[in-house]
Amino acid sequence: MNKDIKYPDAVVKVYHGYGHTKNLVLYGHVLKGKIFSQKTYTNNAVSNLINLFRLFFIKPLPNAKVKLHWGNQIFYSIAENDGFFKFEWHSDTEVSAGWHNLNVDLLDENEETLTTGEGKIFVPHSTQYGFISDIDDTVLVSHSGTTGKKLWSMLTKNPRSRKTFADVVNFYQLLSKTHTEENVP
């Protein structure tokens, strides 16, 4: 681990993971500095543009040592140069379907925990399908085929004011229930 990096304001960002019965995967990101978290949303284009630019000043913490707690198991990983880390492991117990909480610690050179990130892992029912997609042009209208409209939407809208495709919520709810209930078309 790089000892000249200052850790007091480091953050462990844990992304939703996935798995099936015993094989699990989790990704995350170790970052320096305070992560900008938008607490209020506005339709003001200038405010949204400033908030977007603030995201570009987050810096990764390269080569950071992280520790994953999973039940009685502990796993270690080292973040890449861009701060991203990955855990891929085999659970020593059968994992039931649903969401499962977990923690990832950032460790110092003495193996002491500096900060902890909380995350979740999803294991689908054996009869369910898993759908993984990005948000733009799958859920949110982003005009990815038209550069001008895409930039206007990205620079002036906040995530809560962007339009979703009609019936997208109903569509994903129906997908998530595929083969889970009797007599559901």
What's the burial of 9, exposed, middle or buried (CB within 10 Å: 0-12/13-18/19+)?
exposed
Identify the bridge partners of residue 13 per DSSP, sorted by sequence position: 29
What pLDDT score does 67 carry? 97
What is d(CA 134, CA 92) in angstroms, rounded to the nearest whole number? 31
As given in the structure block, the two tokens for residue 157 are 């809208």
Confidence of residue 129 (pLDDT cuts 50, 70, 90): low
Give pLDDT tens digits for 137-169: 566 777 777 888 877 777 777 666 666 777 877
* Per-residue pLDDT at 4 exceeds 60: no
As given in the structure block, the two tokens for residue 171 are 């569509």
Give pLDDT tens digits for 57-100: 778 999 999 999 998 999 999 999 999 999 999 999 989 988 99
Give pLDDT tens digits for 93-128: 989 988 999 999 999 989 999 999 999 999 887 765
